[in-house]
Amino acid sequence: MHDETIRMVDPRKVTADLVVLFFSTPDANRGYELASAFSEKGSQIVIGGLHATFMPEETSEYADAVMTGECENVWDELLQDAQNRSLKPRYTGTYADMSKLNPYPRHLITAEQYGWEWSVLVSRGCKHNCSFCLIPGMLGKTRYRPIPDIINEISEMETDWVELHADHLTEDREYALELFKALETLKIRWVGETTIRIADDPELLEAAARSGAKYLLIGIKTPSKAALKRAGKGFVKPENLKSQISNIHTHGIIVDTTAIFGFDEHTPEIFIETAKFYHDIGVDITAPAIAIPFPGSRFYKQLEEEDRLLSDNWGEFDGAHAVYQPKNMSCEELEAGAEEFSQHFYSMSRSASRKLRQIKDFGLATTLQIT
Ligand code: SF4
């Protein structure tokens, strides 16, 4: 098993009867490169994952078989077919039974390789339908693993830093409360992804903190109310964010959110406006990114219908390139704006005042670890 977020694979040094590649759109060029290299060596090639699910025709040009959707329910059949060298062109995955999932294979990949942070799956899917997101299309509405399975898996880990892997960790409040209660005895520190709504629920926030929550990735995206509404994130209210984030900080939890640029409501002023806004509301960690129109998303469809897509080079769908014509600025302004945002958010004076606030909220040791 190879994960190229850790180390690149050299196909010349790997021999395999069957190569199964999973990747999303920004990595599609690399995925196809590997598929071609292994195919030339005689391997059978299967491609699955987000890009294959939404671009199966294109993907099939590089693979003996394309696997769409979740892979668990077609995996045994696929392996059997590969053994007989009789792969079918398409394997259509269905939603997996969450009570039958295996833990991530620690005998093949180790926590040490991931900086001693380990990921444990909690749920798949999300009830929201944000215009730029593929989760609802790929995974549907939220499905949860049984809590005892999660607790058992964490108990066997060799690290106390855990990512509770869920697209929306606290969507089902009762489930989340039960999970947090069960986690308390394990004395772990965890990171997770949820929405800002957690800040309005003191009981849930308190339970999260007691169970070891240290860091929440929260989708705020932009201070533009109109852009949030159109993207399907109308539940994020910019006017409430300062007090909501303060509630989270009170529990010693760091807030990380990306700053997304390129919404149709954005003008060239948005970059500095967002930097000031994010600093003012108390965001601890952020990075700018241009909105990526992933094939399969409503955002991609809209741009396609409006004939505004400028690139089909998937390597440029990386959040750093303007791959579509922005509505109220040039592509150059959009690409340069991300840098402008960083300069203002991480300016000397803002960084210093943020550090002082973080020392009060989290203590010196934690603050020094926030980069
Ligand atoms: S809330 Fe998050 S996971 Fe759910 S659809 Fe929106 S961006 Fe995707």
The CATH number of residue 81's host domain is 3.40.50.280
Task: For residue 101, give every residue at least 6 positions away whose Cβ sits within 8 Å of its Cβ, in sequence order, or none.
Answer: 72, 121, 145, 149
Per-residue model confidence as pLDDT tens digits over 216-241: 999 999 999 999 999 989 999 999 99
365 CA → ligand 1 middle, Å: 32
Q: Which of 24, 122, 128 to mutate to test the pocket of ligand 1 (most atoms within 8 A of CB)?
A: 128
Per-residue model confidence as pLDDT tens digits over 181-202: 999 999 999 999 999 999 999 9
Residue 5 located in a structural domain:
no
Q: Give the pLDDT of residue 225.
A: 96
User: Residue 347 corresponds to which tokens in the numbers above?
Assistant: 């300016």
167 CA → ligand 1 middle, Å: 7
Answer whether 136 contacts ligand 1 (Cβ < 6 A).
yes
* CA atoms within 13 Å, Cβ hemisphere of 311: 18
Structural domain count, the chain:
2
181 CA → ligand 1 middle, Å: 25
Q: Give the pLDDT of residue 72.
A: 96
- Please report the atom of ligand 1 found closest to the CA of residue 132: 7
Answer whether 291 contacts ligand 1 (Cβ < 6 A).
no
The reply to whether 29 and 173 lie within a common domain is no
Q: Give the pLDDT of residue 159.
A: 87
Taking residue 134's Cβ as centre, other Cβ atoms within 10 Å add up to 20
Q: Hey, is 303 helix, strand or coil?
A: helix
The reply to whether 213 and 303 lie within a common domain is yes
294 CA → ligand 1 middle, Å: 14
User: How far is 190 from 160, CA to CA, in rounded Å?
Assistant: 8
113: domain range? Answer: 98-369
- Residue 353: enclosing H or E segment and its boundaries? helix 348-362
Do 66 and 48 meet the contact criterion of CB atoms below 8 Å apart? yes
Spans of the chain below 70 pLDDT: none
Q: Where does a domain end: 77, 92, 107? A: 92
- Cα 293 to Cα 130, 198, 264, 307, 312: the distances in Å are 12, 28, 13, 13, 11
